[in-house]
């Protein structure tokens, strides 16, 4: 799995968009970008994933640069419940031993009232 780099912490005002960056300059052509988050003491929660096109679901949007070396997770209207550690993971989807997730240290997002 390609290595990822995320800022250790970020703050965001409640109701504003939270933009969480991730660098993955060594990503290979068949690797996807996945985002998970972990709210304090809970198990990680899947948010979104993508290969090269921008993706949107009910939780967030994922913007991947054209060269795929970086991406941004966007929470459009952050709430206090979005305070969590956000993990950016780059990996091949489900091919034998590549199925395990490799977690880095993530970004601690704090949404401020």
Site of interaction with other proteins (CB under 8 A): 34, 36, 41-46, 49, 87, 93-94, 96-97, 99-106
Match 């939780």 to its residue by tokens: 59
Pairing of strands 32-38, 18-23: unpaired
Closest CB 94 distance from other proteins, rounded Å: 6
Closest CB 95 distance from other proteins, rounded Å: 11
Q: What are the tokens at 32?
A: 């996807």
Greatest alpha-carbon pair distance for the chain in Å reads 44
CA nearest 78: which of 23, 21, 10? 10
Closest CB 108 distance from other proteins, rounded Å: 10
Residue with Cβ nearer other proteins (14 or 61) = 61
d(CA 74, CA 39): 17
Residue with Cβ nearer other proteins (45 or 79) = 45
Residue with Cβ nearer other proteins (76 or 93) = 93
| Chain centroid, CA 92 distance in Å | 15
Closest CB 104 distance from other proteins, rounded Å: 6
Residue with Cβ nearer other proteins (14 or 44) = 44
């Amino acid at each position: 799995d390609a290595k990822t780099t995320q800022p250790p912490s970020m703050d965001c005002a409640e109701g504003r968009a939270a933009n969480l960056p991730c660098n993955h300059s060594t990503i290979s052509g068949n690797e996807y970008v996945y985002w998970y988050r972990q709210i304090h003491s809970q198990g990680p929660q899947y948010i979104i994933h993508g290969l090269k096109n921008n993706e949107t679901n009910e939780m967030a949007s994922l913007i991947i640069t054209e060269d795929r070396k970086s991406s941004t997770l966007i929470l459009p209207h952050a709430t206090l419940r979005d305070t969590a550690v956000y993990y950016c993971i780059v990996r091949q989807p489900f091919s034998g031993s590549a199925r395990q997730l490799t977690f880095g240290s993530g970004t601690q997002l704090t949404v401020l009232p």
